[in-house]
Amino acid sequence: MAGAPQTLFDKVWRSHEVSPESADRPAVLYVDLHLIHEVTSPQAFAVLRERGLNVRRPERTLATMDHSTPTLTAQVFGGAPIALDAARRQVRELEANCAAFGVELLGLTHSDRGIVHIIGPELGLTQPGKTIVCGDSHTSTHGALGALAFGIGTTEVGHVLATQCLLQRKPRTLAVNLSGELRAGVTAKDLILAVIGRLGVSGGTGHVIEYRGDTIRALDMDERMTVCNMSIEAGARAGMIAPDETTYRYLEGRPRAPRGEAWERALEAWRALPTDALARFDREVELDAAAVEPMITYGTNPGMAIPIGGAIPQRSGDAAFTQALAYMGLAPGEPIRDQPVNVVFLGSCTNARLSDLRSAARLLRGRRIAPGLRMLVVPGSQQVKRQAEAEGLDRVFLEAGAEWRESGCSMCLGMNGDVVGRGEYAVSTSNRNFEGRQGSGARTLLASPLTAAACAVRGRVTDPRELM
Amino acid sequence: MPLEPFTVLTSRTVVLPGANIDTDQIIPARFLTTTTRAGLGRHLFADWRYRPDGTARSDFVLNRPEAHGCRILVAGRNFGCGSSREHAPWALADYGFRAVISTELADIFSSNCLKNGLLPVTVDEPTSAWLIEHPGAQVTLDVHACTLTLPHGAAVPFPLEAFARHCLLRGLDELDYLLERRNEIETFERRA
């Protein structure tokens, strides 16, 4: 197409404008894929019922359940009731809503069920150039495949159900340019924690991030998803990565990816998506990825991260900082290394794909977790679970003394029965270390699967390179 | 669903000065197992408002008598960051708040507020600092003029997206506007 050079974001945005924005009206943006789950959809379906509306394009909508669902096999498959009454009601309500409105549901016992942001790419539904929304802020994950994907509220879930569209102002663009090779023991999780540390937890507000550079090109798809997943932790609603051969290899042959001639046509369209050479971003930030160390958080937002060998910063006169450290029971100026750990959680839409489990299992093989420590391993989807079991990873975790669960959001957000106790320290591969996120009074240290495994073995905050 | 038109609001303020107050603080995830919007106000800031045994913490600002009846929340930078849960504005609105003022509000939170008749107001640092230093100040928010008037009479402008302002002033539901675009949406679908 002739005209001004465009970014990846511009191309996806423009091709989905039902009507462009004007001074007094936002754009009407068409949504290709709407993912729904049990927690943020009931009130949206209620609005459809109150107003006598249908789901406009049920075939563009896919439902699953992940947030409030149990991860104990007996409660998922064994006929034991879901322990939490409210969760049971949400599960039943989603089943009823999907049946009534003709929406496909990958329900509690479905073999393709999983965390909504893990199954979209896994099924091949997440594709370059698509617009994807879900009532969940980590929808940004899907941007790893070159989609424009962002979280929405429940009222907007209702808008998309009823009209397949959203009213949106066009966000600004932010290029995060990453160069250099990641060192041994440094993962995509460490990279994104370093990026958030650099941008700050609101540095991306109002922007869509495009992650660029040779570091990104060298990442596999699982790693790219980890990076895009945490865009929202820098305040950006979406993070995107231009599709390339890595993306196409990942997608080809997946059950819901195009096939045959349709695949060839799709490929041709996808190859036109990457940002044009002379396109301009509203902002650009550079980061030397080769200098990134294994990272860990010490505070109560994901921007409060330091290299694992570093000391907790000192900031006198900052009330929020002081409150965060008081909550965490940590002292400024002290090293984070050797901090005792009670719980290790390996899971979530950030880090529960097969490669995450492999990375932790490699370190745990032939080792035991520290006495008294609890380690919960929760695969991101039932498919990931089956693949891991086929490779014997479940044995590695079980023999190390960890628990092996059914897929779900689990301990990431403490609303499904999997919680960290009051005052306990959890090294978690999830995305948020907010106060109480993993349970009232729980203290979360975010880290990579590799670091989490090392911490599990020692029972203390440990640099994974010491055990590699 | 039509909302009450939002034109002018005069109220005393409640102040939560901390930066980066996230949606897990506004309403912890364990209260998200509800399937309705109603009644979430009692869980607003649950872990700050109540002790583990359920008794109220008298030192938390919302539990103090002077907070009673305040409809404007003044908060530190980047209020509402984190999750997309609309339960956060539902809880704030159900509690009785009609507006939130900060130097910076998270994108999804801000968008969710507007869908629920809760006015998201961003102001400059000096205005925010003044408001934080003067809890309980009586201020006026004028949606038509997009101004915040402080007790000493200074009117500070705040940005408000034009269509959101239009909807607030008339109590319109954005869904009606989208439903009226049906022909354009059909045309787009045929073209795609």
- The CATH number assigned to the domain with range A172-243+268-290 reads 3.40.1060.10
Residues of B in contact with A432 (CB under 8 A): 22, 24, 82-83
Closest CA–CA distance from residue A86 to any residue of chain B (Å)? 5
| pLDDT value, residue B2 | 64
Residues of A in contact with B163 (CB under 8 A): 24-26, 167
CA distance A113 to B116: 32
The arithmetic mean of pLDDT across residues A55-61, rounded, is 98
| pLDDT value, residue A20 | 98
Domain layout of chain B by residue ranges: 9-161
Q: Nearest chain A Cα to B186, which residue? A: A18
- CB atoms A154 and B77 under 8 Å: no
Matching fold, domains A8-168 and A296-466: yes
> Closest Cα to residue B141, out of B39, B12, B21?
B12
Task: For residue B184, give the nearest of A18, A156, A169 by CB distance.
Answer: A18
| pLDDT value, residue A2 | 57
Could you give phi then psi for residue A72, rounded to 5 degrees?
-80, 130
CA distance A114 to A37: 11
Percent of chain A scored above 70 by pLDDT?
Answer: 100
- CB atoms B33 and A89 under 8 Å: yes
Domain layout of chain A by residue ranges: 8-168, 172-243+268-290, 296-466
Task: For residue B115, give the nearest of A155, A205, A414 by CB distance.
Answer: A155
**Which of 162-221 (A) contact B at CB < 8 A?**
162-165, 167, 169, 171, 201-202, 205-206
Mean pLDDT of chain A: 97
Give yes or no for a contact between B106 and B76, defined as CB atoms under 8 angstroms apart. no
The arithmetic mean of pLDDT across residues A412-428, rounded, is 96
Closest CA–CA distance from residue B75 to any residue of chain A (Å)? 12
Residue type (1 letter), A34 = H
The CATH number fitting domain B9-161, selected from 3.40.50.1980, 3.90.1150.10, 3.20.19.10, 3.10.20.30:
3.20.19.10
Q: Which residue has the tokens 């839409």?
A: A349
Q: How far is CA A447 from the centre of its chain?
A: 14
Q: What is the pLDDT of residues A59-105, one digit of tens each?
A: 999 999 999 999 999 999 988 889 888 899 999 999 999 999 999 99
B83 near A CB under 8 A: yes
Closest CA–CA distance from residue B22 to any residue of chain A (Å)? 7
Task: For residue A137, give the nearest of B18, B83, B174 by CB distance.
Answer: B83
Residues of B in contact with A156 (CB under 8 A): 111, 115
Q: Sheet with A104-106: list strands edge to edge.
A: A104-106, A61-64, A33-36, A131-134, A148-151
- What CATH architecture applies to the domain A296-466? 2-Layer Sandwich (3.30)
Helix H, strand E, coil C: the string for chain A is: CCCCCCCHHHHHHHCCEEECCCCCCCEEEECCEEEECCCCCHHHHHHHHHHCCCCCCHHHEEEECCCCCCCCHHHHCCCCCCCCHHHHHHHHHHHHHHHHHCCEEECCCCCCCECHHHHHHHHCCCCCCCEEEECCHHHHHHHHHCCEEEECCHHHHHHHHHHCEEEECCCEEEEEEEECCCCCCCCHHHHHHHHHHHHCCCCCCCEEEEEECHHHHCCCHHHHHHHHHHHHHHCCCEEECCCCHHHHHHHCCCCCCCCHHHHHHHHHHHHCCCCCCCCCCCEEEEEEHHHCCCEEECCCCCCCEEECCCECCCCCCCHHHHHHHHHHCCCCCCECCCCECCEEEECCCCCCCHHHHHHHHHHHCCCCCCCCCEEEECCCEHHHHHHHHHCCHHHHHHHHCCEECCCCCHHHCCCCCCCCCCCCEEEECCCCCCCCCCCCCCEEEECCHHHHHHHHHHCECCCHHHCC
Residue B166: CB atoms within 10 Å: 15
Q: Is the ipTM of this complex over 0.90?
A: yes
Q: What is the pLDDT of residues A303-348, one digit of tens each?
A: 999 999 999 999 988 889 999 999 999 999 999 999 999 999 999 9
Q: How far is CA A454 from the centre of its chain?
A: 22
Percent of chain A scored above 90 by pLDDT?
Answer: 96
The arithmetic mean of pLDDT across residues A405-415, rounded, is 97
Give yes or no for a contact between A415 and A432, defined as CB atoms under 8 angstroms apart. no
Q: Nearest chain B Cα to A130, which residue? A: B192
Tally A–B CB contacts below 8 A. Answer: 176
pLDDT tens by residue, chain B, 192 residues = 567 899 999 999 999 999 999 999 999 999 999 999 999 999 999 999 999 999 999 999 999 999 999 999 999 999 999 999 999 999 999 999 999 999 999 999 999 999 999 999 999 999 999 999 999 999 999 999 999 999 999 999 999 999 999 999 999 999 999 999 999 999 999 987
- CB atoms A435 and B24 under 8 Å: yes
Task: For residue A158, give the nearest of B17, B25, B175 by CB distance.
Answer: B175
Residues of A in contact with B30 (CB under 8 A): 414-415, 440
- CB atoms B32 and A158 under 8 Å: no
Q: Nearest chain A Cα to B191, which residue? A: A18
Structure tokens at A182: 């990641």
The CATH number fitting domain A8-168, selected from 2.50.20.10, 3.30.499.10, 3.40.50.1370, 1.10.4160.10:
3.30.499.10
Q: What is the pLDDT of residues A234-252, one digit of tens each?
A: 999 999 999 999 999 999 9
| pLDDT value, residue A195 | 98
**Which of 104-143 (B) contact A at CB < 8 A?**
104, 106-108, 111-112, 115-116
Q: How far is CA A443 from the centre of its chain?
A: 20
Task: For residue A40, give the nearest of B22, B76, B85 by CB distance.
Answer: B85
| pLDDT value, residue A57 | 98
Give yes or no for a contact between B29 and B192, defined as CB atoms under 8 angstroms apart. no
Residues of B in contact with A438 (CB under 8 A): none
| pLDDT value, residue B120 | 98
Could you give phi then psi for residue A361, rounded to 5 degrees?
-65, -35
CA distance A407 to A391: 17
* DSSP strand pairing (A27-30 vs A17-19): antiparallel
Q: What is the pLDDT of residues A240-289, one digit of tens each?
A: 999 999 999 999 999 999 999 999 999 999 999 999 999 999 999 999 99
